[in-house]
Amino acid sequence: MIVIEQILSKEDVKAYRQTLQSVPWDDGKNTAMGMAAAVKQNSQALASDAKVQKLANQLLNKIGETPKVVSAALPHQIFPPCFNRYAESEEYGFHVDAAVMRVPNTQVVLRSDVSMTVFLSEPDEYDGGELIIATEFGEQSIKLPAGYAVVYPSSSLHKVTAVTRGERVAAITWMQSMVSESVLRENLYQLDQSIQSLIAAGNTPRAELDRLHNVYHNLIRQFAHL
């Protein structure tokens, strides 16, 4: 579970929210699969709408331009981002994301290894609405500033608690990683972050950085499935 700081600027968030006020919304149950539909109470922006597709493509570009997301997820394929909205009393009970997803209106199928939520509402705009992720260390509650994101294994049981005041708006997407094993992906992320920290510090000999880069990329070469 990794927090991505400010994947969207405050100006980006404002533009997204303004656009989302003028697009059609559908019952979220219509996009849920299996048992998830029984516990899903929210609205989802209509994916076929041109404005929604434009926002989704813009967010895809942001994901590709954010090194920490790439380092954390090592994405091979990314599902077009969806936009959801929780009004008062709406929630999404405990569920697990579908393991295999088909991109709408295409023949593209991807395996969901990594889930990502991008918060588009400020925490003080609503009460409740926490993203709860069940981990081996217990349930983790996440409620981040607008423009921030969290990535976590799609295999995790998770839920969104009931909103009791205001409105919670967010974007969600799923990624098929080049490295499907979550523990290995986490180790690669930690290694990459250490390399980036050493580069930023500016006092590590180039030969040592080259050695670490060699190890990192050879591990990806060994374990990546494309």
Tell me whether residue 168 is annotated as binding: yes
**Angle, CA 28 vertex, CA 157 and CA 30 arms, to 5°:** 105
Burial class (CB in 10 A: 0-12, 13-18, 19+), 79: buried
And the tokens for 92? 């999404």
Question: Distance of CA 93 to CAs 39, 90, 99, 120, 129, Å?
Answer: 5, 10, 18, 20, 11
Q: Is 95 annotated as a binding residue?
A: yes
Considering only CA atoms, which of 71, 70, 76, 66 is closest in space to residue 190?
71
Tokens of 143: 């409620």
Tokens 């998830």 locate to: 36
Contact 133, 143 (CB under 8 A): no
Count Cβ atoms within 10 A of the Cβ of residue 6 and give its class: 0-12 exposed, 13-18 middle, 19 or more buried. middle
159 Cβ neighbours under 8 A, 6+ residues apart: 39, 91, 92, 93, 94, 95, 131, 132
Of 84, 83, 82, 119, residue with least CA distance to 104? 82
Determine whether the annotation assigns residue 225 to a binding site: no
Q: Is 97 annotated as a binding residue?
A: yes
Binding-site residues from annotation:
95, 97, 158, 168
Binding-site annotation, residues for 2-oxoglutarate: 168
Residue ranges of the binding site for Fe cation: 95, 97, 158
